[in-house]
Structure 1
Amino acid sequence: MEIYIKYLLVGLAIALPIGAITVEMTKQGLKNGFIHGWAVGLGGMTIDLTLIFALYFGLASVLSLPYVQMPLWIIGACFLALLGYDSIKNADHDITLAGEKPTKSFWSTYKNGILVAVSPGNLVFWVSVFGAVLSESYKSAHSGSFIIAAVGVLSGILVHDIGLLSIVATTRKVMSKNMIKWSSIVAGGLLFIFAGYFIYEFLNDLIKYIR
C-alpha cells in the first residue's frame, strides 16, 4: 500500500503540468462535456499503459538512442502543429452547450486522445518521465513492485483527469459558444507552443550529436 500511495502521488505530480493531452482534454470537455473530455484522457492513459509495459520489456533503451530520438522529436513537432492548426481552423465546429446533446461520438474523442498521446515526441517525453519515476521499482527483485508502482502512477493520472474535468464541466455551464470557440483557439496556440518545444529538443539533441 505504501508503494501504491507513493506512486499515486507521483502520477498526480507528473500529470499536473499542462501538456498536449491536458490541452486536448480541456478543449473537448468544454466543447462536448465531461464524458468527451474524459474519453481523451482515457485514450492518453491507454498509451501510458502501453508505454509502461514497453518499458518493462526494454523499449526505453531503444528510444534513448540519439539517432532514434532526434527524428521522433521533429515528427512529433509536425504532428502537434497539425493538431494545433486543426483546433484553430475548426474552433467554431462541434460545440454543444451544457444541456445539449453532443454530436461527436465517445469513440471519436477517445481516438483523439490516442492520437495526441502517440505523437512521437510525446512518446519520447513520457518514456523519459516513466523511466525516471519507475526506475526504482523496475530494478527491484520483485516484479510485483513495478506493477504496483505502475498502477499507482496511472491512478494518479486518473485522479488528475477527473478533477480537471469536474472543473471544466462546471465552468462550461456559464460559457457561451463564442467563449468556447476562443478556448479552442487558445488550445490550438498551446499545441503550437508544444510543437516549438519539440523542435527545441530536436535542435538541442542535434547540436550535442554534432559535437
Structure 2
Amino acid sequence: MTFFSYVLLGLSLAVPVGTLTIEMVKRGIRFGFFHSWVVGIGGMVADLILMTLIYAGVAQFLVTETAKLFLWSFGFITLLYIGYESIRDSSQTVLISSFQEEPLWKSFMTGFTITLANPINIIFWIGIYGSVLASAMTKVSFQQSLLYSSAIFLGVALWDLFVSGVVHFSRQAMNATFVRILSIAAGCFLIGFGFYFGYQVIQALFV
C-alpha cells in the first residue's frame, strides 16, 4: 500500500458517525469552527495514545477480561455524564448569529474523554490498526511503518477538518430549536451508548 492508500484508510476509519462526530457537530453549531475542531483534536490525541500503546505491545493487555471490564465501566459512567450534560445544556438559550463562549480546553477534554471512554473505539483500533501494523512491519522498515501510521492519522485529521468546516459554514441556516433538538438527540445517543457499556459490565460480572 502507498502513503496515499493509508491516508484513505484513515479517512475511512473516521467517516462512520459515532459519539465523537456527534459531539463535533453539536459544539460546532453552538460555539463555532475552532470548538468543533478542538473536539476532533482531543479525539486524535486519544487515538495517538492508543496507536502508541499498540506500538509498545500493550494491546494484548487491553483485551484481557479485567481490562475490558474496566473499559466498559469507565465508558458507562463517562458517556452517561456527558449525555446528561448535553440534554441539560439544551435548555440554554442558543444564539446562532453569534458565537457563544466556552474554554477551548473543555472542548478538547470532551473529545479526548469521549474517545478514551469508548471501549468499542479502543477495540476497533486494536483490531484494525493492530492488524495493519502487523502486516506492514513484515514488509517494510520500522521507519516506513511510522510513516504509514502518520498517513492514517492524517486521514483522520482531514475528516475532522471537513466536519468542522461544514458545520461552521452551515450553522447560520440553523435555528435555536434545531440546536436544542440536536443537543437532546446527541445526549440520548451518548446515554444509549453508555447503557450499552453498562450492559456489557453486567454480562461480564454475572453471566
Query: Which category describes the TM-score, using the shorter chain as reference length?
Result: 0.7 to 0.9
**Root-mean-square deviation (Å):** 2.3
Runs (5+) with no aligned partner, structure 2: none
C-alpha distance in 2, partners of 1:66/1:33? 41
Number of the residue aligned with 2:105 = 107
Partner SS state of residue 99, structure 2: coil
Aligned in 2, Cα 1:192/1:112: closer, same or farther, shift over 3 Å? same
Matches within 5 A, 1:83-162: 83-93=82-92, 95-98=94-97, 100-119=98-117, 121=119, 122-140=121-139, 142-162=141-161
Number of the residue aligned with 1:27 = 26
Do the aligned partners of 2:24 and 2:163 also contact (CA within 8 Å) in 1?
no
What is the TM-score normalised by the length of structure 1?
0.86
The letter for the 2-side match of 1:37 is: S
Number of the residue aligned with 2:191 = 192
Aligned in 2, Cα 1:191/1:136: closer, same or farther, shift over 3 Å? same
Greater shift after overlay, 168-177 or 86-95? 86-95
Do the aligned partners of 1:72 and 1:124 also contact (CA within 8 Å) in 2?
no
Q: Say how many residue pairs are matched.
A: 206
Number of the residue aligned with 2:7 = 8
Aligned in 2, Cα 1:43/1:5: closer, same or farther, shift over 3 Å? same
C-alpha distance in 1, partners of 2:6/2:134? 12
Runs (5+) with no aligned partner, structure 1: none
C-alpha distance in 2, partners of 1:182/1:87? 10
**Shift of residue 79, structure 1, vs aligned partner:** 1.4
**Shift of residue 54, structure 1, vs aligned partner:** 1.4
- After superposition, what is the alpha-carbon deviation per residue over 1:135-191, rounded to whole angstroms, capped at 9, x for unaligned? 322445511122112111111111111122222123211111221111111111111
Aligned in 2, Cα 1:46/1:11: closer, same or farther, shift over 3 Å? same
Do the aligned partners of 1:94 and 1:104 also contact (CA within 8 Å) in 2?
no
Number of the residue aligned with 1:170 = 169
**Shift of residue 132, structure 1, vs aligned partner:** 3.2
Aligned in 2, Cα 1:78/1:129: closer, same or farther, shift over 3 Å? farther
The letter for the 2-side match of 1:193 is: G
Do the aligned partners of 1:88 and 1:188 also contact (CA within 8 Å) in 2?
yes
**Shift of residue 203, structure 1, vs aligned partner:** 5.7
The letter for the 2-side match of 1:146 is: S
**Shift of residue 88, structure 1, vs aligned partner:** 0.5
**Shift of residue 96, structure 1, vs aligned partner:** 4.1
C-alpha distance in 1, partners of 2:26/2:93? 11
Partner SS state of residue 5, structure 2: helix
Partner SS state of residue 173, structure 1: helix
C-alpha distance in 2, partners of 1:50/1:60? 11
Partner SS state of residue 173, structure 2: coil
**Shift of residue 46, structure 1, vs aligned partner:** 0.8
